[in-house]
Structure formats: structure tokens, C-alpha cells
């Protein structure tokens, strides 16, 4: 086979199915459901393509080679930024095809939530791909994200400051709005949307709809993903959820109603009420009766509120004192005392 034919064949294979969604929106659940199909190989997250978790990625490499003064287009006659980009596509294709061939299946599915912020690159890198956008109530997303703090996520939410229900909800609003704008563009014509709450409440018709979109037959085994083997690495928060819950369940729908205190619900309505309605959900006050709810927490309630996070953080730092220099430890003790007095 000559080089031109090889390149043409490679480009034909470089068309994975790609799941889009804000972290904690059900992207892993959808991945294992579709990965239970006899023709779909659903890999674990692939941050090495766009650089979702750092600078070591194909995207960073092709951008460096294409733009840097010492890049290939500056030292190799005839090589351009587009040459570097196409080389990156071929490289990714070889890696994905190797995994696909070993799986014995015919189609690759990718899911890395942070890729949402790089949709322009992703669309150009995989021009023949189909995208599935899954979305979930931002308040449940925020509660689930905060619940994973110190487990899978750090104290800081990149680009938004300290992780809290409010910063997680702000990211949800920003990212979901960005996805909707992208889907309304010409590139979004190759995408479909599924709502998490509808998927878990009545899975089969929605899975059938996804299968029709992908041009594959529905298989009943997709409903029983827990009986199949999947790549569930320990560093993926969603993978741990799938391990604990091997069947489709709706138990986490609406968790925000019990997790978020009423005084914070009022703040959410003030800051995000319009965005919630615009993105398909009701305001807190339309879901929960806040007319008789307290305006602020009592001292007893404080430990369950967003404000109480300060005290819990101080306590976590207190446990680290034996490993911290004396001067810093004194400052932490002081902060702890102030948090207790509030």
C-alpha cells in the first residue's frame, strides 16, 4: 500500500464517537452504557489528546511545532503548521486503532469532560466524528462535585477559585452555555443531546435514540453494563460511581434539594436563576417552598452550610499540624479559632 492510500484509510478510521458534558453530569455512565455495545470500544479518559489535565498532549505538540520558532515548519522546507496538525491526527489514529483492533470492535468512543473547553480543536481534529451531549441539573452537578472534594478533586476549581457549590455551578453555567452555542453552529450539526434525568428515569427509549443517531442496532445488554468489562481507572471519579452502582438508577436526581440549605438556595436563585431556566431547569423557589425557610443558618446549622466549609477546612489543616513548620502551624491554629467563633 502506498503512502497516499495509507493516509486515506487512516483518515477514514479517525472518526470516534465523542461524549460531551460537564464533569459529574453522567458522562461515565453514558460511556459504559455505549461501551457495552458489541461494536463500540469505549476507552478511559484521554487527556493526552487535548491536554485537559496538563500540557503533555498532542494539541500542545502540534501547536508548538506549528508556531514555535524552532518548530518543524521553521526548519523543514515544505512543512507547515497544517503538516504538524495532520501528523498529530495520524499519531492519534494509530494509538486509537491499536486499542480498537485489540478490543475486536469496530468503533472508538471517547469521553474526557474537560475537552468541553476545547471544542474548536476537537471538531477540527476529528472532523467526521459524532458527538453526544449529556447534561444534568447544575445543582446536582455542583453537589456531586463538592462531594468529591479531597477525594478526586482539589480545593481549587481551575479558573473559578475555591471549590464550592457556587463556583461549581458557575462552571456548569459557563460550560453548558458554551456547548449550546457550539451546537447551534455548523459544527454542532453532528451532535445530539440527552438529558441525564430522562436517561436514568426511562433508559431504553433514550438509548435506542442514541443508537439510531449512531447508526447501530440497540442491544438489550447495554442496559446491563455492570455485567460487562470496562476500563474504570482509579483516577476517574465517574469510574468509582460505576463500580459502586452497576445498574442504571435515578437515586441521585434532585439530591440538591436535601444537600443545599435554603439560605443558599435563595442565593442560587439570585445568581443563577436565569441561567437555570435558560438551560432547562426551574429555579429553587419553584421546586422547594422557601417562604418559611430561615434567611441564615443558626450556629447549630452552620456545620451543614456552605459557610461551614471554612471550619471543616480548618479542621483538616489542624490534622496536618505535626507535619507543618511551627510558625505556619500557629497561623493555622489562629485561623481555626476564628472559624469557630463565627
Task: Tell me the DSSP string of 202-246.
Answer: SHHHHHHHHHHHHT----GGGGGGGGS-----TT-HHHHHHHH--
Query: What pLDDT is attached to residue 179?
Result: 95
Between residues 155 and 257, the one the model is more confident about: 257
**Of the spans 73-77, 139-143, 243-247, which averages the highest pLDDT?**
139-143
> Using 50, 70 and 90 to split pLDDT, how confident is the model at 149?
confident
What three-state secondary structure class fits 79? coil
| Mean pLDDT, residues 181-190 | 92
- No. of H helices and E strands in the chain? 17, 7
- Residue 166, pLDDT > 80, answer yes
The model's confidence at residue 11, banded by pLDDT at 50, 70 and 90, is very low
Read off the pLDDT band of 27 (50, 70, 90). Answer: very high
Find, among 308, 304, 322, 206, the residue nearest to 259 by Cα.
304
Band (1; pLDDT cuts 50, 70, 90): very low
Question: With pLDDT > 70 as the criterion, what percentage of the chain qualifies?
Answer: 79
Per-residue confidence (pLDDT) for residue 4, from 0 to 100: 44
pLDDT of residue 209: 96
> Is the Cβ–Cβ distance between 216 and 132 less than 8 Å?
no
Task: Give residue 266's pLDDT.
Answer: 92
> Stretch 223-239: mean pLDDT, rounded?
82
Residues 92-113 pLDDT 10s: 999 999 999 999 999 999 999 9
Tell me, what's the pLDDT at 246? Answer: 82
State the pLDDT confidence band at 130, using cuts at 50, 70 and 90.
Answer: very high
pLDDT bucket at 214, cuts 50 / 70 / 90:
very high
Structure confidence at residue 18 (pLDDT): 96
Least reliable range by pLDDT among 181-195, 248-262, 284-298: 284-298
- pLDDT by residue (tens digit) across 45-65? 999 999 877 778 999 988 888
Residue 221 pLDDT more than 70? Answer: yes
Rounded mean pLDDT, 300-321: 54
Asked if pLDDT for residue 204 goes beyond 90, the answer is yes
pLDDT (average), residues 143-168: 83
Contact 132, 194 (CB under 8 A): yes
What mean pLDDT value characterizes the chain? 83
Strands (E), the chain: 17-20, 40-42, 107-111, 130-135, 156-157, 161-162, 191-195
CA distance 113 to 157: 14
Q: Over pLDDT 90: what percentage of the chain?
A: 53
Instruction: Check residue 5 and give its pLDDT.
Output: 43
pLDDT band at 3 (very low <50, low <70, confident <90, very high): very low
Q: pLDDT value at position 325?
A: 59
pLDDT at site 154: 73
* Cell of residue 78, nine digits: 515544505
Look up residue 136 and give its three cell numbers.
444534568
Amino acid at each position: 500500500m502506498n503512502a497516499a492510500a495509507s493516509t486515506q484509510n487512516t483518515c477514514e478510521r479517525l472518526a470516534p464517537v465523542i461524549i460531551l458534558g460537564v464533569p459529574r453530569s453522567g458522562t461515565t455512565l453514558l460511556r459504559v452504557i455505549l461501551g457495552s455495545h458489541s461494536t463500540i470500544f469505549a476507552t478511559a479518559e484521554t487527556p493526552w489528546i487535548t491536554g485537559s489535565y496538563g500540557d503533555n498532549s498532542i494539541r500542545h505538540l502540534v501547536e508548538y511545532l506549528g508556531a514555535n520558532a524552532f518548530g518543524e515548519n521553521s526548519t523543514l522546507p515544505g512543512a507547515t503548521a497544517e503538516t504538524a496538525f495532520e501528523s498529530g491526527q495520524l499519531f492519534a489514529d494509530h494509538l486509537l486503532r491499536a486499542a480498537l483492533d485489540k478490543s475486536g470492535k469496530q468503533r472508538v468512543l471517547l469521553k474526557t469532560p474537560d475537552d468541553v473547553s476545547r471544542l474548536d480543536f476537537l471538531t477540527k481534529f476529528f472532523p467526521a466524528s459524532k458527538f453526544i451531549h449529556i447534561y444534568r441539573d447544575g445543582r446536582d452537578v455542583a453537589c456531586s462535585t463538592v462531594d468529591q472534594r479531597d477525594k478526586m478533586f482539589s480545593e481549587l476549581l481551575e479558573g473559578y477559585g475555591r471549590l464550592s457549590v457556587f463556583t461549581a455551578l458557575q462552571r456548569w453555567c459557563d460550560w453548558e452555555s458554551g456547548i449550546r452555542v457550539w451546537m447551534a453552529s455548523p459544527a454542532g450539526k453532528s451532535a445530539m443531546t440527552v438529558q441525564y434525568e430522562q436517561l436514568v428515569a426511562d433508559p431504553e427509549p433514550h438509548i435506542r435514540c442514541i443508537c439510531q443517531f449512531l447508526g447501530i442496532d440497540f442491544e438489550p445488554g447495554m442496559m446491563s453494563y455492570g455485567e460487562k468489562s470496562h476500563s474504570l481507572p482509579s483516577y476517574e471519579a465517574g469510574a468509582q460511581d460505576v463500580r459502586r452502582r452497576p445498574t442504571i438508577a435515578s437515586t441521585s436526581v434532585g439530591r440538591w434539594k436535601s444537600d443545599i440549605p435554603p439560605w443558599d438556595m435563595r442565593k442560587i436563585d439570585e445568581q443563577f436563576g436565569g441561567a437555570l431556566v435558560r438551560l432547562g431547569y426551574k429555579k429553587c423557589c419553584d421546586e422547594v417552598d422557601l417562604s418559611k425557610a430561615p434567611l441564615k443558618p443558626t450556629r447549630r446549622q452552620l456545620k451543614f452550610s456552605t459557610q461551614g466549609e471554612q471550619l471543616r477546612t480548618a479542621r483538616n489543616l489542624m490534622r496536618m499540624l505535626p507535619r507543618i513548620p511551627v510558625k505556619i502551624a500557629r497561623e493555622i491554629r489562629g485561623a481555626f479559632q476564628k472559624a469557630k467563633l463565627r
